[in-house]
Amino acid sequence: TADTASEHTEDGVRRRDFINIAAVSAAGVGGLAVVYPLVSQMAPSADVLAESTTEVDVAGIEPGQSIKAIFRKQPLFVKRLTAAEIADANSVPLSDLREPQTLAERTSEGNEDILITMGVCTHLGCVPLGAAEGENKGEYGGYFCPCHGSHYDTAGRIRKGPAPTNLEVPEYTFTSETTVVVG
């Protein structure tokens, strides 16, 4: 019903749209009753997605390297910072920051060299480029969003451009020295 739909997250609504579209095309070949259960099994419910976790092995990530993973259907950046990048992040006065947060606040205690952020620009959701990527024109050594020119520093904090906030740090836990469970 419309009431139920309005309570769903965006994902739920999108799934419903997909089901409607699938049902309409199935009507053309006369297989509506068969198609619906298949579609409903394939698409995880919004609740399941919201609870899902992503495990990342950070052992192979070299200092200065950022890898991409997927967390709840969105890009996730996992970066091992170099000593210079850590020093750079720690040298910035908090008063210079649009959303003041220290590197320590954005990392896990004892693992301050591992920066884990969503790979989603907080302006309009493009995927920013990492410092190691050739087209990165970032001025602050972290990530640069090519869509409208937002610059993030080595701690993933917004420094310049239209994005309002820092790259989001999701909840995560180190379950061993090299394994992180995000979510």
Residue numbers of the site for ligand FES (CB under 6 A)? 121, 123-126, 145, 147-150, 161-163
Q: Which is nearer to ligand FES, 117 or 150 (CB)?
A: 150
Q: Which of 8, 123, 148, 151 is catalytic?
A: 148
Q: Which is nearer to ligand FES, 89 or 121 (CB)?
A: 121
Name the phi and psi angles at 34, rounded to 5: -80, -40
Q: What letter represents residue 84's amino acid?
A: A
Q: Which two tokens stand for residue 182?
A: 């995000």
Q: Which is nearer to ligand FES, 42 or 68 (CB)?
A: 68
Give least dist CB 10 to ligand FES, A.
18
DSSP-derived letter for residue 145 is E
159: how many CB neighbours lie within 10 A of its CB?
21
For residue 70, CA distances in Å to 30, 48, 60 come to 37, 15, 17
Give least dist CB 127 to ligand FES, A.
9
Query: Are residues 80 and 64 in contact, defined by beta-carbon separation less than 8 angstroms?
Result: yes
- Known catalytic membership, residue 151: no
Q: Which is nearer to ligand FES, 80 or 151 (CB)?
A: 151
Give least dist CB 158 to ligand FES, A.
10
Beta strand residue intervals within 53-132, DSSP E:
54-57, 66-71, 74-80, 114-118, 129-130
Strand order in the sheet with 129-130: 129-130, 141-145, 150-153, 158-160
Give least dist CB 126 to ligand FES, A.
4
Distance from C-alpha of 50 to C-alpha of 24, rounded to nearest angstrom: 29
Q: Which is nearer to ligand FES, 58 or 76 (CB)?
A: 76
Give least dist CB 148 to ligand FES, A.
3
Distance from C-alpha of 115 to C-alpha of 81, rounded to nearest angstrom: 7
Catalytic residue list: 148
